[in-house]
Amino acid sequence: MRQLFHEIRNGITLVTRHFVQIITIMLLMGLVCFSIGMNLSTVTDKAIALKQSQELRAHDPVYFSAYYDNSVPKTQDQSAIHILSTELAKGSAVSYVNTNIELSNKDFANRHHVLIVMGKKTNLAVFGIPNPQSTKPRAYLGADLPEKSIDLPIAGYHLTASQHLPSHASFFSPHGFGESLAHHVVIVLPPSALSRMDEQEKTRALFNTIFLMKEPSHISDDDLSLFLHSCYSWGMSLVPQNLSVSLPEQFRKVVALTISYVVPSLALLILVFFLFFSLGKTLVREELTELRIRYFFGATLGSLSIRVITFLLLSLVVPAVLPSALLAYQAQQQFAIPGIIILTFTLVVFLVCTLTTMRTIKRSIS
């Protein structure tokens, strides 16, 4: 027993000789965990958004791209607002305002990104919020927001966001594609609130309108024409786009984006794992002389293996796993997958290094 403690203590002492390598391992693994965590999160958001877009596509949606013309006097014809409110109430349109600043109240929502969604079919734009088809005014906090509750005075309502959304909650926009709602404050407003919004919010709501043309009560051609004409008085020319047409192109973009994220991540992962394995072998090689000497002077392979296991656990496994554990503790699911990958690989390297060390000691003598 005394010998066991002695070997463990000496294994710990060996670790103190390798601070540079240990710090290098921590930095490498922290970097790879952070990078893959972020990339995986982005790719996951895009994948969820893609699935959402397929649902939206089934409703034959029309959205708009805008051209702003500052030479036109902004008379702000309210017909567009009226038409949009009506369509939202009928369930044949969805609109949203995605902003990070409220001009009249810069501290609005504690300066977090805000997403306001309106309409009976909000589930086609946002994913993961409770009762998506209800138009009852309410607000939610993104999964990663630290606040317990935030008061939100908006469009005549005094809402309080206290419920956190699930971490997979995301938002689909035909303009920007997928986006995580982990750091957003999400506000659901009834169609009637549109008229009480400020000018900026109204402009964005008009531009971000999606008409659902497969709905039985979808917008008539006359109303659509009036809507476009009215929007012109808000300083923008809206050009209708069919999502069903543009979606395959967006799909290709997502695939390209995914590849552009995944390939460098994989390359980084392979590079870091190669470096990690080399560092592991270097650590072992630097200690082999001492291990051999100890074997000459009476250590058994059993006692040496205790020393080697202690040493490698503290110099390889702990510094490799610690950064991902800390990141996962801070941001949970986002870094859980890279953490698991790193843990698995680290354990493999640990086993390989332990076995090869003991085999090398035996071979170097025989």
Partner 1 sequence: MISTNVFKTTENTSSLPDITSSLHENTSSHPESTPMDQPLNQPLDQPLLELKRITHRYHQADSVITALDTVNLELLPHEIVCIMGPSGGGKTTLLNICGFLLQPDHGKVVVNGKVPDSSSSHRARLRNQVFGYIRQDYAVIDHDKVWQNVAIPLEYRAKPLYGRKAKALCSQALAKVNLAGKENVRVAQLSGGQKQRVAIARCLVNEPSIILADEPTAALDHENAHEIITLLRDWAHDPSQRHGLILATHDPRILPYCDRIFSLQDGTLTQESATHLQA
Which of 77, 295, 313, 360 lies at the binding interface for partner 1 (CB under 8 A)? 295
Task: Check: CB of residue 161 under 8 Å from CB of residue 141.
Answer: yes
Using rule CB under 8 A, residue 289 touches partner 1: yes
Number of residues that bind partner 1 (CB under 8 A): 20
- Contact window for partner 1 (CB under 8 A) among 182-190, 234-242, 284-292, 337-345: 284-292
- Contact window for partner 1 (CB under 8 A) among 23-31, 163-171, 188-196, 290-298: 290-298
Burial class (CB in 10 A: 0-12, 13-18, 19+), 71: exposed
Q: Provide CB contacts within 8 A for 18, sequence distance 6+.
A: 283, 286, 315
Q: Would the CA dihedral through 100, 103, 108, 114 be positive or negative?
A: negative
Cβ at position 5, least distance to partner 1 in Å: 11
Which of 126, 228, 279, 299 lies at the binding interface for partner 1 (CB under 8 A)? 299
Write out 108-122 in H/E/C secondary structure.
Answer: HHHHCEEEEEECCCH
Cβ at position 299, least distance to partner 1 in Å: 6
Which of 1, 2, 136, 216 lies at the binding interface for partner 1 (CB under 8 A)? 2
- Contact window for partner 1 (CB under 8 A) among 126-134, 175-183, 198-206, 299-307: 299-307
Using rule CB under 8 A, residue 251 touches partner 1: no
> At residue 176, what is the residue type?
G
> At residue 155, what is the residue type?
A
Which of 1, 20, 245, 365 lies at the binding interface for partner 1 (CB under 8 A)? 365
Total Cβ atoms within 10 A of residue 82: 16
Residue (71 or 366) nearer to partner 1, CB: 366
Residue 96 CA to residue 171 CA, distance in Å, equals: 10
Applying CB under 8 A, the residues found at the interface with partner 1 are 2-3, 6, 17, 289-290, 292-303, 365-366
